[in-house]
Structure 1
Amino acid sequence: MSKALVIGIDNYLGNPLHGCVNDAVEIAKLMRRNADGSINMEVDLQVNVVADTPPSTSSRAYLLSLITDLFRGNRYVSLLYFSGHGYVNNMGGFLVTPGAREFDEGIKMDEVIQLANASEAMNRVIILDCCFAGALAEGDAATGINICIKQGVTILAASRKNETAMEAGGHGVFTNLLIQALAGGAADIGGYITPGSIYAYIDQALGETGQRPVFKTNILRFISLRKVAPQVPGEVLQKLIEYFPVFNQEHQLNPSYEYTNTESWVQIKTAPYADEENVKKFKALQKLQSVGLVTPVDSPHMYFAAMEHKSCRLTPLGYHYWRLVKEGKI
């Protein structure tokens, strides 16, 4: 079983935030279940951890105990998400907790890395939406600390170690994009959402200027953090090797593939007329074409390729998925 610890803190004394609890609630909702309603992972949602008055270290100790427990288990995925204040000084980076004060700013980022590195969980994922979040991945020249992550650890940070992280519209700018990515924006053709695809989605959306996300990983292969409806049904994807027995072979089309080409249809008709099996096959080919796996040959559209007795073929991306199907990997 996988587990996520999702933390969102707005109630900082003297310097409150306004979108972190919203961020955490939405991330928890997405991580708890896949798009089809099936359970994805266990989620522990922690928002606005109460700070004592006068300030004490209780909230820090409590959150650190939760993070320690998260990484203690032998799970498939242990995921930490934090949205709140971040802070850096000559001692390094900190996840700021309620009740923070000078010389007791919160949880040190290198403590989090040490816990993740020592964890027995197969995959450890840390996602931070806070100012200076990149200090977790980039290290700090002032302290001479060079961050090393062990195999199975992935870090996704909202900003570089010297950058602030912005809020807008009730959410952090980074987490708003993270929510979109987890909702399906970063899904591959099979509906799987990986840390790498999330970073690519956010990186492209943020553009070249302003807040820059940081991504660091030491893994053998990407894992899926959530699944949404596939762009192409699995049974259609499996048809690739049936329609294209050889990867560079074209699939011959003719008018019998087009369902409107029937004798009862009031328009110009072209023999051979619509055939039920070919129509079914053509709909699958059109679905594959819609996601860039198949393209018509010498024709702008699949319809014209069929009506003009032309063909279709695999694209380079189509060949990639054809090979995966052929080798039984999907």
Structure 2
Amino acid sequence: MRRALLIGINDYPKNPLKGCENDTLRMQSVLETHENGNPNFDCKLLLSSKKSVTRSEVRKHIKKLFNHEKGTALLYFSGHGATTIAGTYLVTQDAKPEDVGVSLMEIVAIANNSKADEVVIILDCCYAGDAGNTIDLNERKVILREGVSILAAASADQYSYEKNGGGIFTNIIYDALKGSAADVRGKITLSGIYYTADIFLNAWSQRPVFKSHVSHMISLRNCTPKISLKILRKLPVYFDGDSTGMTLSENYLQARTPLATVMKHLQKYQDNGLLIPIEASTLHEAALHNKSCSLTALGCYYKSLVMQNRL
């Protein structure tokens, strides 16, 4: 079972925001199903335009989200974040100077005590990178139980920005979940999403923060594989034993032959970084001049997975 609580707050009495609800709806659209339309996360929304998003409402729904046994629980928040001497908070609509919302420390504590197999927390708000930090350790250590991961829009002392009616960070996450962070098999993991955000947000921008204590990476969403499993599983056939290279010839260029099919598969490998031509700029040129091609480190990795029956 996969559950997601998605919270978006635009309507603050002071300093209202513009894009948080839209960001939340976009996240719902990309998390509810995999690319092929199969069900993914069962999403629950808290939107400030529909109902007042108060401290008690947020606490109640977070506890309910993380209280279920087994499966994956995902929390997404888009709104204001605030830092105080008592810690960092997700700001709710009923914020007061002495009680601005729900503390990240409390949320992480609930997550750490959750019975869910995997817990994912995605925060698009200012100071979100403070989530999981421990005050007594000068914010240099994080305490997360196994299975908990946090992806934050900015470090503990940074703002998170909106642009063109939406959060810059959420826009990156949305595109990543749509497929820009998918691996060769079409799997999108939280580490892959972070890698995408890390590239987009330069050293002078808000810096995304990724904290995780997991023994394996789950796929948050599946897209169409860039290379089908059937073709991936041909790697040990084409590159037998310890071999990582293959000599080509003009025979691979003749249409409607078994070698032409092999050539199509080799081209798929090259297009996705698993293979490179040697002493030629293209596989076609390599075949014309009886040159070779060779697996890259990534190609060897996938070949090894196939040989170990991991794919």
Judge same fold: TM > 0.5, yes or no.
Answer: yes
After TM superposition, the structure 1 stretch with the greater mean CA deviation from structure 2, 227-236 or 141-150, is 141-150
Aligned match for 1:205, one of 200, 203, 218:
200
**Contact between 1:247 and 1:322, CA under 8 Å: does it hold in 2?**
no
* AA matched with 1:38: N
The residue type paired with residue 237 of structure 2 is E
Closer/same/farther in 2, CA of residues 183 and 275 from structure 1, 3 Å limit: closer
CA distance in 2, matches of 1:2, 1:122: 10
Deviation at 1:210, TM superposition (A): 2.0
Distance 1:143 1:254, change over 3 A: closer
What secondary structure is seen at the aligned counterpart in 2 of 1:200?
helix
| CA positional deviation for 1:246 | 2.2
Q: Is the 8 A contact 1:189 1:231 kept in 2?
A: yes
Mapped partners of 1:141, 1:96: distance in 2: 23
Alignment match, 2:283: 302
User: In structure 1, how many angstroms separate the alpha carbons of the residues matched to 2:43 and 2:150?
Assistant: 19
CA contact (8 A) 1:247 1:314 kept: no
What residue is the counterpart of 1:45 in the other structure? Answer: 45
Counting aligned pairs with the same residue, the percent is 37
1:271 match: none
Whole-angstrom distance in 2 between the partners of 1:127 and 1:304: 47
The structural deviation recorded for 1:199 is 0.6
Q: Which amino acid aligns with 1:9?
A: I
Q: 2:175 is matched by which residue type in structure 1?
A: Q
Measured in 2, the distance between the counterparts of 1:76 and 1:313 equals 41
TM-score normalised to structure 1 length:
0.90
Residue in 2 aligned with 1:32?
32
TM superposition shift of 1:50: 3.2
Instruction: Give, in angstroms, the shift of residue 298 of structure 1.
Output: 2.2
Does 2:268 match 1:287?
yes
Please, which runs of 5 or more residues in structure 1 have no aligned partner?
Answer: 52-57, 260-273
Match of 2:11 in 1: 11
SS of match in other structure, 1:94: strand
1:148 and 2:143 matched? yes
Instruction: State the distance in 1 between where 2:244 and 2:171 align.
Output: 44
Say if 2:111 is the partner of 1:110. no
Counterparts of 1:112-127 in structure 2 under 5 Å? 112-127=107-122
The one-letter code matched in structure 1 to 2:26 is E
Q: Give the Cα separation in 2 of the matches to 1:307 and 1:21.
A: 56
Change (3 A) 1:311 1:80: same
Secondary structure of the structure 2 residue equivalent to 1:299: coil
2: CA distance, partners of 1:204 / 1:249: 30
Q: Which moved more, 1:141-150 or 1:235-244?
A: 141-150
Distance 1:73 1:178, change over 3 A: same
- State the one-letter code of the partner of 1:323: S
Q: Which runs of 5+ in 2 are unaligned?
A: none
* 2:68 equivalent to 1:73: yes
Q: Is 2:30 the counterpart of 1:2? A: no
| Residue 238 (structure 2) aligns with | 243
Say how many residue pairs are matched: 310
1:17-75 deviation digits (Å, cap 9, x = unpaired): 00100110000110100111111121112211633xxxxxx721111111001000113
AA aligned to 1:121 is A
User: Does 1:137 find its partner at 2:132?
Assistant: yes
Q: Deviations over 1:248-285 (max 9, x none)?
A: 342232212114xxxxxxxxxxxxxx451111111011
- Is 1:177 aligned to residue 172 of structure 2? yes
Q: Which residue does 2:89 correspond to in 1?
A: 94
In structure 2, do the counterparts of structure 1 residues 313 and 161 end up closer, same or farther at CA, with 3 Å as the change threshold? same
Q: Are the aligned partners of 2:112 and 2:145 in contact in 1 as well (CA < 8 Å)?
A: yes
CA contact (8 A) 1:50 1:98 kept: no
Q: CA contact under 8 A between 1:256 and 1:275: conserved in structure 2?
A: no
Give 1:143 shift: 8.8
Question: TM-score if structure 2 supplies the norm length?
Answer: 0.95
Give the counterpart letter for 1:298 in structure 2.
E
Specify the SS of the correspondent of 2:128.
coil
CA drift of 1:142 comes to: 10
Q: Confirm or deny that 1:22 pairs with 2:17.
A: no
Structure exhibiting the larger radius of gyration computed from Cα positions: 1
